[in-house]
């Protein structure tokens, strides 16, 4: 099984430095793309590979790049941003790439920037990733020294400067347009789309924001081609995927596996199955803002389409397992508390709706709820759905809520009837 993203990651030693990375075949893609390919060829190749964004939404990356204005009439300043904010609860995949092989990200960014002809790039890194910050800074320094960053890279005439920006908290910063506001030194409230960042992004200039994992795939596609990339996968979405499992399983962790591996394989084999004394009850397949799936769904393929057919989303591909000794109401309450707290306060449904939901859940959890509360929760989950709010935060928050009400309704009712949490 090929693991292009993680093959050079060895957790028991520091990441490869620029030299070691080059010796392991690194920066070949930079040489190939910048010296032998036209920007549009790079975009076409990525499009063809069917690489889908790994930040959660799963949009074709090459397609996204192709919306950036090119040519003489295009603005001369453009930006590329790596979204390394990874704050979705239960998600810990980008950390592996950032800490394990920062040069791979840099290489992906250089090629991506070349494809859209951006001369400045940022890594937007969350505050908590202290080790990653050090390693990225070191890698940037080395890449400048090796001539992969800076003016006229490898004599190609292409210039790319890269900066690290570390955040100061707030989950909203991961939303790509809020991220741009944060980078501009503003409150991280989201922006309206359209206009999309591809035409009016950072400082009003065309900008591409890509997830770290998305960008780390780029060098490998350049080196090995679209067909190779597609062949890595078990499904129609190209490539491998970093999958993670957390919760009461025997071996929680994060692995690079073919896109479309089954959920059962992930939980039972890679994560070693449930811990002794714990039974599987459900799972959030792709981070906190995805719908619960249950035992019924264990055999689905973990790719964008299959997970959504099952009623959830692949999201970040990092799952959180709910076991039979953990209270689902408390579980959902914890999630909604997070979302309510992380709402930026810009649009009404999210700002006012989520705290209401959180309060109702808490009163149910404490045995003070009533059955009408469940209808109210269901209604709120519907009202907070996609399109109704300004950005995807609240719809994300609605997903675990609505599915918990569907799959674990009994638990809610027990709280209400027993006037206490049955798991206490």
Partner 1 sequence: MKEDLENKNTTTVGLNEQERTAIDHEVSLVPYPKAACIEALKIVQNNRGWISDEALSAIALYLNMSAAELDSVATFYNLIFRKPVGQHIILLCDSISCWVMGYRVLYNELNKQLNIQFGETSPDGMFTLLPNACLGCCDHAPAMLIDDDLYRDIKPNELESILKKYN
Partner 2 sequence: MATLYIDNRPYDVKEGKNLLETCLTLGFDLPYFCWHPAMGSVGACRQCAIKIFKDENDTAGRLVMSCMEPVGKETRISLDHPDAEKFRKSVIEWLMTNHPHDCAVCDEGGSCHLQDMTVMTGHNYRRFEFPKRTYVNQYLGPLINHEMNRCIQCYRCVRFYKDYAGGKDLDVYAAHNHVYFGREKDGILESEFSGNLAEICPTGVFTDKTLKQHYSRKWDFTFAPSVCQHCSLGCNIIAGERYGELRQITSRYNGDVNGYFICDRGRFGYEAANSVDRIYQPALKEENVSLNQEYIINDIAALLSTSNCVGIGSPRASLESNFALQQLVGNGNYYSGWSDEEHRLNKAALNILQNRTAEIVSLKQIEQYDSILILGEDLTNTAPMAALTVRQAVRKKPVENAQQNINLATWHDAALREYIQQRHSDLFILHPHSTKLDEIATQVSYSTPHEIAAKGFTIAAAIDATADQVIDQIATSLLNAQKPLIITGTSLFNEPLLAAAEAIVKALKKRGKQPGIFITQADCNSMGLAMMNVPPLSSAFSKLSDSTLIILETDLYRNLSTEKADEIMNLPKRIIVFDHIKSTTSEKADIKVPVGMFSEADGTIVNNEGRAQRFFQVFVPKNEWLKESWRWLSLLKALKDGKAIDENLSISNIQSTLVEALPQFRGIEDAALSEDFRLNGQKVPRAPHRYSGRTAMLSNENVSEPKPPQDIDSPMSFTMEGYRGIPPSSVTPFFWSPGWNSVQSINKFQIEIGGPLHDGNPGVRLVNSNSSITPIDFEQKTEKISLKEFEWQLVPVYHIFGSEELSAKAPAIAELTPKPYLGLNQYSLAKLNLQENDMATIEHHGRAYQLPVRLRAEINNEVALILFGLPQTAFFVKPVIIKIRPASNGITNNNSKHE
Ligand X SMILES: Cc1cc2nc3c(=O)[nH]c(=O)nc-3n(C[C@H](O)[C@H](O)[C@H](O)COP(=O)(O)O)c2cc1C
Residues that bind ligand X (CB under 6 A): 53-57, 59, 61, 64, 83, 85-88, 171-172, 174-176, 209-211, 214, 391-393
- Residue 390 binding: pick among ligand X, partner 2, partner 1, none (C-beta 5-8 Å cut-off by kind): partner 2
Nearest to 29 by CA among 218, 292, 311: 218
Of the pair 19, 187, the CB lying nearest partner 1 is at: 187
Of the pair 214, 312, the CB lying nearest ligand X is at: 214
- Spatial contact of 18 and 146, defined as CB atoms under 8 Å apart: yes
157 class by beta-carbon count within 10 Å (0-12 exposed, 13-18 middle, 19+ buried): exposed
Tell me the backbone φ, ψ of residue 168, rounded to 5 degrees: -125, 45
- What's the min distance (Å) between Cβ of 192 and ligand X? 14
For CA atoms 121, 123, 124, 127, the dihedral sign is negative
Of the pair 85, 323, the CB lying nearest partner 2 is at: 85
DSSP state string for 63-75: HHHHTS--STTS-
404 lies in the binding site for partner 2 (CB under 8 A): no
The rounded distance, in Å, linking the Cα atoms of 343 and 332 is 16
- Spatial contact of 262 and 307, defined as CB atoms under 8 Å apart: no
390 lies in the binding site for partner 2 (CB under 8 A): yes
Of the pair 25, 272, the CB lying nearest partner 1 is at: 272
- Spatial contact of 381 and 364, defined as CB atoms under 8 Å apart: no
The dihedral region occupied by 178, where left means phi > 0, alpha psi between -120 and 50, and beta the remainder, is alpha
- What's the min distance (Å) between Cβ of 349 and partner 2? 6
**Contacts with partner 1, 369-408, as mask; x by CB under 8 A:** ----------------------------------------
The rounded distance, in Å, linking the Cα atoms of 126 and 188 is 13
β-strand partners of 284: 320
- Spatial contact of 366 and 421, defined as CB atoms under 8 Å apart: yes
- For tokens 């309704």, the residue is 409
- Spatial contact of 246 and 331, defined as CB atoms under 8 Å apart: no
- What's the min distance (Å) between Cβ of 188 and ligand X? 10
- What's the min distance (Å) between Cβ of 153 and partner 2? 28
- What's the min distance (Å) between Cβ of 365 and ligand X? 24
134 lies in the binding site for partner 2 (CB under 8 A): no
- C-alpha 248, offset from chain centre: 23
14 lies in the binding site for partner 2 (CB under 8 A): no
Mutual angle of helices 354-365 and 393-407, in 10-degree steps: 30
288 lies in the binding site for partner 1 (CB under 8 A): yes
For CA atoms 210, 214, 215, 216, the dihedral sign is positive
The CB-nearest residue to ligand X is 174
Residues written for the chain: 424
How many positions of this chain bind partner 1 (CB under 8 A)? 55
Of the pair 221, 350, the CB lying nearest partner 1 is at: 350
**Contacts with partner 2, 323-352, as mask; x by CB under 8 A:** -----------------xxxxxxxxxx-xx
The rounded distance, in Å, linking the Cα atoms of 122 and 144 is 15
CB neighbours of residue 357 within 10 Å: 25
The rounded distance, in Å, linking the Cα atoms of 19 and 36 is 22
246 lies in the binding site for partner 1 (CB under 8 A): yes
- What's the min distance (Å) between Cβ of 128 and partner 1? 5
First CA to last CA distance, the chain? 44
- What's the min distance (Å) between Cβ of 391 and ligand X? 5
How many positions of this chain bind partner 2 (CB under 8 A)? 36
Of the pair 328, 353, the CB lying nearest partner 2 is at: 353
342 lies in the binding site for partner 1 (CB under 8 A): yes
Indicate which single residue of 19, 141, 279, 341 sits in contact with partner 1 (rule: CB under 8 A): 341
Candidate ranges 101-109, 281-289, 326-334, 388-396; the one touching partner 2 (CB under 8 A): 388-396
Chain positions contacting partner 2, by CB under 8 A = 170, 172, 181, 187, 191-192, 194-195, 199-200, 203-204, 340-349, 351-356, 359, 363, 376, 383, 387-390
Chain positions contacting partner 1, by CB under 8 A = 86-92, 94-95, 126-131, 163, 165-171, 182-188, 203, 244-248, 252-254, 284, 288, 318, 320-323, 326, 330-331, 334-335, 338, 341-342, 344
């Amino acid at each position: 099984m090929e693991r292009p993203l993680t093959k050079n990651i060895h957790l028991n030693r520091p990441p490869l430095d620029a030299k070691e990375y080059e010796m392991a075949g690194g920066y070949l893609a930079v040489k190939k793309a910048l010296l032998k390919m036209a920007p549009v060829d790079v975009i076409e190749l990525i499009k063809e590979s069917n690489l889908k964004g790994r930040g959660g939404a799963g949009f074709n990356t090459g397609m996204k790049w192709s919306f950036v204005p090119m040519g003489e009439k295009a603005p001369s300043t453009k930006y590329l941003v790596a979204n390394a904010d990874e704050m979705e609860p239960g998600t810990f995949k980008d950390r592996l790439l950032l800490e394990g092989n920062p040069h791979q990200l840099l290489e992906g960014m250089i090629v991506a920037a070349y494809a859209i002809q951006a001369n400045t790039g940022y890594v937007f890194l969350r505050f908590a990733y202290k080790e990653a910050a050090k390693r990225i800074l070191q890698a940037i320094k080395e890449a400048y020294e090796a001539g992969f960053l800076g003016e006229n890279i490898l004599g190609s005439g292409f210039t790319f400067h890269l900066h690290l920006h570390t955040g100061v908290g707030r989950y909203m910063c991961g939303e790509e347009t809020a991220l741009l506001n944060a980078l501009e030194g503003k409150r991280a409230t989201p922006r309206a789309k359209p206009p999309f960042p591809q035409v009016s992004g950072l400082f009003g200039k065309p900008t591409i924001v890509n997830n770290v994992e998305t960008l780390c795939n780029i060098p490998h596609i350049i080196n090995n081609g679209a067909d190779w990339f597609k062949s890595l996968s078990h499904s129609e979405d190209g490539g491998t995927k970093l999958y993670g499992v957390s919760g009461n399983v025997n071996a929680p962790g994060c692995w690079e596996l073919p896109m479309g591996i089954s959920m059962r394989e992930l939980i039972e084999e890679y994560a070693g199955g449930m811990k002794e004394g714990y039974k599987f009850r459900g799972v959030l397949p792709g981070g906190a803002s995805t719908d619960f799936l249950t035992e019924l769904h264990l055999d689905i393929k973990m790719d964008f389409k299959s997970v959504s057919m099952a009623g959830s989303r692949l999201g970040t591909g990092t799952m959180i397992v709910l076991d039979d000794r953990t209270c689902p109401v408390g579980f959902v309450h914890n999630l909604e508390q997070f979302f309510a707290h992380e709402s930026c306060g810009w649009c009404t449904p999210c700002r006012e709706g989520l705290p209401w939901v959180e309060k109702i859940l808490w009163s149910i959890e404490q045995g003070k709820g009533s059955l009408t509360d469940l209808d109210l929760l269901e209604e709120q989950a519907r009202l907070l759905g996609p399109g109704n709010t300004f950005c995807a935060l609240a719809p994300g928050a609605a997903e675990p809520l609505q599915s918990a009400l569907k799959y674990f309704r009994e638990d809610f009712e027990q709280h209400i009837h027993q006037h206490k949490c049955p798991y206490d």
